[in-house]
Each structure stands twice: as C-alpha cells, then as structure tokens.
Amino acid sequence: MVELLFWPALLCYGEAALGYFGSAWRAALWGVRLGWLAQTALLAVQAARDDGFPWSTWAGSLDLFVWFVVTAYLFWGSRRPYRLLGLTVMPLAVALLIVARAGGGTGVGERNHYSNLFLVVHVGLVLVAFAGFTLVAGMSALYLWQERRLKQRNATILRRPAPSLATLDGLAFRIAAYSLPALTLGIGVGVGRLINRGDSVDALVVATCVTWLVWASYLVLRVRGLTGRRAAYLALAGFVLVIVVRLALPATHFA
C-alpha cells in the first residue's frame, strides 16, 4: 500500500519540479497538489499501521519534513507571483523524499523506545520549524535572484514576474518569526527529557542550539532594521545549519 502511494507522490513532485523549470505553471501546481495528496495518504497509512509514532527514525522524520515543507508551500504556491518559489522548493522536496525512502522512512513497522507524546511534540515542533526555515531560505534565494535581475536591468524582468522584493523580505521575516518559537519549544522538550533521564548532550543537540542562535540573531537583527540582501544571506546561512542538523541526525540521535 505504501509503495502505491510513495511512487505517485514522488512522480507528482518530480513533475512539479520539472514543470516549474519549464514554466508549465498549471501542470506544476497540479503536480504539487496531487503529490501532496498522495504523500498525505502515505503518512496516514504509516500512522494507521504503526502502533507508535511512525516517523521516529531519521528517514521517517525526513519524510514528514518534506510533507511539512510542501504543505507550507501550498499556501503560497497557488498564487501566481509565488509560483517561482517552486523552483527552489520542489526539487528539494524530490531529493529529500528519495533520501527518506533510501533510509526506509517511507515504510511501516519500525518500533522505538520513546513515548509517542514526546516524539509528537519534540519531532513535530522541530520539523515544523525546519520546514518554516526552509521556506524562508527559498524566499531568500528568490529575493537574491530577483534583486540580481533588477540590478542587471534584465529586459525580460516583467515577462516572468516574481514577488516583489518588499513582499519576499516581509514574508520571510514573518515565517521565521513563527518558526523560531516552534524550534524553541521543540528543543526545550528534548532538553527537558535529556535532563530527566540524565543523558548526555550529543553533537546534534549542539548543532541544533547553534541553528537556534543563528535564527534568533536573524530575527533580532531584522527587528533592528536589517533588511534586503544581508538578511537574505543570513537566512541562507541559517538554512545551511538546518541541512547540517538534518544530515547529522542518522549519525547522532539515531546512531
């Protein structure tokens, strides 16, 4: 069953990624929608067949992370100026979904020794925050691309309209402002459990805290007036840390 849902999801996301590159907007958007439906069904089947929290492995959490990213993108993706965001988001979603499958994250049946409540709160909040930061990074990349087009005085700039610089800048700030509290709570729950059990801090916890620091700095600097290109670069730096944390998962938490 999960096989029947995984492949349509992957194919639809792949079609969407290609569609965005080929400017086939309508087909791309339908790819996102249908792929999202297939992946939602996949997650539902995983949840129904598993006794506990089905995304507790690093690959499983990657599967859930992709779903969060695509869900968040769907909010904006259907609006014409934001479709270009699909150029950055959908190829990433395809790549991560393939990695999740390679790691066994799209299957069912793996057990773990953590409580469901802890996993839902800890993993869920951290993944929501990371999905938000991924979108912020996508918007920052789009901002830099759009600014470059304006600086180059590209004559085709109005033939492929993108969201305005001000819109991208403001939206990235708002999404980061919602994502950081989620990450804070997610880390708090994890650290609380560490203290309770007397476990030691691993490299991933440190990397996550550094990520939190970078994003907190981003928000503080934004409030103090940092905008534009510098803010976009800082967001991308924060996203690099998000990637690092994601890649470090199998070698630390799940080692």
Partner 1 sequence: MHLVLVGTSHHHAPVELREQVALGDAQAHALAEELGEAVVLSTCNRTEIYVAALDPDDAERRAVAALADVEPALYRLRDRAAALHLFRVAAGLDSLVPGEGEILGQVRTAYENGTPGFLLDRVFRHALHAGRKVRTQTAIGESPSSVSAAAAALAEQVFGDLGGCRILMIGSGEVGEQAARNLRTRGAEIVLTANSKTSRDDLAAQLATADVVVSSTSSPDIVLDAATVERHRRGRQLLLIDLAVPRDLDPAIHELDGCFLYDIDDLQAIVVETLAGRRSEAERAETIVAAEAEKFHEWHASLDVVPAIASLRARAEAIREAELRKAEPVLGRLDESERNAVESLTAQIVNKLLHLPTVRMKQAAAAADGVIYAEAVRHLFGLEDER
CB contact at 8 A, 212 and 180: yes
Please give the size of the binding site for partner 1, defined by CB under 8 A: 19
Q: Which is nearer to partner 1, 153 or 197 (CB)?
A: 153
Q: What is the largest CA-CA distance in the chain?
A: 62
Within residues 121-160, the interface with partner 1 by CB under 8 A covers 146, 150-151, 153, 155-159
Q: How far is the CB of 139 from partner 1 (least distance, A)?
A: 13
- DSSP output for 144-177: HHHHHHHHTT-TTTTTS----HHHHHHHHHHHHH
Among 30, 229, 243, 254, binds partner 1 (CB under 8 A): 229
C-beta closer to partner 1: residue 113 or 159 = 159
Beta carbon of residue 22, minimum distance to partner 1 (angstroms, whole number): 16
Q: How far apart are CA 217 and CA 211, in angstroms?
A: 10
- Residues 167 to 226 in contact with partner 1, rule: CB under 8 A: 167
Nearer to partner 1, 49 or 230 (CB): 230
Q: How far is the CB of 155 from partner 1 (least distance, A)?
A: 4
Task: Choose one: 109-117, 164-172, 175-183, 247-255; the region binding partner 1 (CB under 8 A).
Answer: 164-172
- Give the residue with the Cβ less far from partner 1, 26 or 111: 26
163 binds partner 1 (CB under 8 A): yes
For binding to partner 1 (CB under 8 A), which residues are involved? 146, 150-151, 153, 155-159, 161-167, 227-229
